[in-house]
Structure 1
Amino acid sequence: MKQVYESFEDAVEEIHDGATLLVGGFGLCGIPENLIKALRKKDVKNLTIVSNNCGVDDWGLGLLLKNKQIDKIYASYVGENKEFERQVLAGELEVELIPQGTLAERLRAGGAGIPAFYTPAGVGTKIAEGKETRVFDGKEYVLEKAIKGDFSLVRAHKGDSYGNLIYRKTAQNFNPMIAAAGKITIAEVEHLVNPGQLNPEQVHTPSIYVNKLIQGDQENRIERKTVKQN
């Protein structure tokens, strides 16, 4: 059985200043929103964040950004956050932009124990500057290193008290590889059930990768709402 926490503040208590956090989600879909709010309340500083993006100005990782808790972020898309833009232009935030597929594979490699891999993405661009390149079968590839973190924060639709997790639909985006790539993985679960109630064939993250569990309700905000005009 994994430790199941009653409060989100207790669940993030171990997270310290200067930690590297891997955070699941894509836009506002599948983000561990309550764990992020608990980190804002904890006011931990000098964080390095690895996530597909940095939320929006008033939600998700944007809350930590606005509170000046993030020093550096590795991401593939940052276009929805004006405070992000302001901090970058002011020299207050260090950013490493990574092609989305490369980011996913660097995280997957980190969880699989693979130190590095070659990819054609970014060859001949600034992405490849200062990195080793090799030619395979007449095509050039750039060497990318795996990403691992001190803590992984993920969001699951269902989980059991052993720590097995199931993600809902597109929340399968970055959550599975992030769950495997952190030294300590904290899972925010919408529906927590007893062992034996999950179909093993539907489990996306096996319990061996999960250290802490907490159940909570999410707001599930929409990043950009588009409605059809009559």
Structure 2
Amino acid sequence: MFTLPSKFNRIEEAVSQIRDGAVVMIGGFGVPGTPFLLIKELVRQGPRHLTVIKNDANEAGSGVDWLLENGQVDRIITSHIGLNSNAVRMMNERRIEVEFVPQGILAERIRAAGAGLIGFVTDVGIDTEVATGKQSIEIGDTVGILETALAADFALVHAEKSDPFGNLTFSAAARNFNPIMAMAAGQTIAEAETCVDLGAIEPDNVHLPGTFVDHIIEMFELPETSNVVER
């Protein structure tokens, strides 16, 4: 009888695969959906020269900022860092490189990578700084910009629920970036608030199939930072 493998793993072992120079996507939309437990372990293990891809840089003293304070990040690709004064200061001091991408374009570049596309053409940003250095393409009477797909070596995601195979359910705003990042990464490590038996998640509630998940970390307690209503 065929059985699906269990992907539960120790957090130390799963995160240890992230080495110096890795490109790491980190899920979340502000606090909701940010994998704080995985970020803390990444800080503890300390790989350097990381490129971090995240919708935002969290706030000072939280999440991504832990990596910045520990000197582990060389570059951030993000839609905004305005809530994190440390990130703004480090950018101005040229201690980190920041690539700003409009939020919708960031999401679509990640989604394109997960779908196996090279990129996509859009008219967003024409005649602005967003278009600087990018290839223009004419389709009929319309001029667009080629936006390249954005992939990563690893994705760190936070799920509300997981089964042993890694079928995941996300809560509210946590669903914005976590699923597409998991699809766009070479390996995905998911922390899950609740773990249930295989088959316990209704098919319509599987927001990300376990095919895209490599390791599941069961959260036996929520970090204090996560105690924000997401639902």
| TM-score bracket relative to the smaller structure | over 0.9
Q: How does 1:59-70 map to 2 (within 5 A)?
A: 59-70=62-73
Amino acid at match of 2:8: V
**Seq. identity, %:** 39
Q: 1:183 aligns with which of 181, 186, 196?
A: 186
Which residue pairs with 2:96 in the alignment? Answer: 93
Q: Is this contact kept in 2: 1:20–1:49, CA < 8 A?
A: yes
Q: Which of 8, 21, 27 lines up with 1:4 in the alignment?
A: 8
Structure 1 counterpart of 2:116: 113
Q: Is the 8 A contact 1:32 1:153 kept in 2?
A: yes
Number of equivalent positions: 222
- 126-135 or 174-183, which moves further after superposition? 126-135
Q: Distance in 2 between matches of 1:65 and 1:34?
A: 16
Map of 2:213 onto structure 1: 210
Q: Provide the C-alpha distance between the structure 2 equivalents of 1:132 and 1:2, rounded to a whole number of angstroms.
A: 44
Deviation per residue, 1:69-92 (Å, 9 max, x gap): 100010001101111011111111
User: Matches of 2:132 and 2:47 in 1, distance apart?
Assistant: 33
The 8 Å contact of residues 99 and 121 in structure 1, kept in 2 or not, is answered as no
Query: Structure 1 residue aligned with 2:125, among 122, 126, 134?
Result: 122
- Offset from partner CA, 1:164-201 (integer Å, 9 cap, x none): 00101111010010010000000110001110100011
Once the two structures are superposed, residues 63-111 of structure 1 have per-residue CA deviations (whole angstroms, 9 ceiling, x without a partner) of: 1011111000100011011110111111110110000000000000111
Superposed CA RMSD in Å reads 1.4
What does residue range 19-58 of structure 1 map to in structure 2 within 5 Å?
A: 19-58=22-61
Which residue pairs with 2:163 in the alignment? Answer: 160
Q: Distance in 2 between matches of 1:221 and 1:133?
A: 45
Query: Partners of 1:182 and 1:134 in 2: how far apart?
Result: 28
The one-letter amino acid of 1:196's match is: G
Cα deviation for residue 221 of structure 1 reads: 4.7
**SS of 2:8's equivalent?**
strand
Indicate whether 1:78 and 2:53 are aligned: no
**1:135 partner amino acid:** E
Runs of 5+ consecutive residues of structure 2 not aligned to the other structure: none
